[in-house]
Amino acid sequence: MIRISARSTQAMFLFMDQLTPAQRTPIRLEGFTKARVGSAETVLGTLVTIAQGMKPANARLLSAAIRDTSDAWAASILPGDRPTILDMPTCGHRYGRAAGSSSPLKRAPLASSTSQRQ
């Protein structure tokens, strides 16, 4: 799932990069932002799953998948969400869905140019 999500993230950026400014409608930009937040939630959810004590062999598989696709994730995660994800290994228990918490990720507006990967 991690590897497939990384490929779809790359395809999403390629699609947005080929659009002319006139084709970058507010609806497309909003969808692009939501997809980027969804990508960050995928990574965060995977890290939470690993941190909550899965079998070591499965944790290694998931960790390897994230590591192998890190370029795609680094490009897609919004700058405001990066500290949350980087902080997760030290406080993963706060982000557990079982505790009833909602996603800690922000839905920040995009910069004017979608081809700029911050």
**pLDDT at residue 95 greater than cutoff 80:** no
Q: Quick check: helix, strand or coil at residue 78? A: coil
| Distance separating the N- and C-terminal Cα atoms of the chain | 24
Average pLDDT, the chain: 79
CB 85 within 8 A of CB 40: yes
| pLDDT band with cut points at 50, 70 and 90 for residue 91 | low
- Mean pLDDT (whole number) for 53-65: 90
For the residues 78-103, what does the mean pLDDT come to? 64
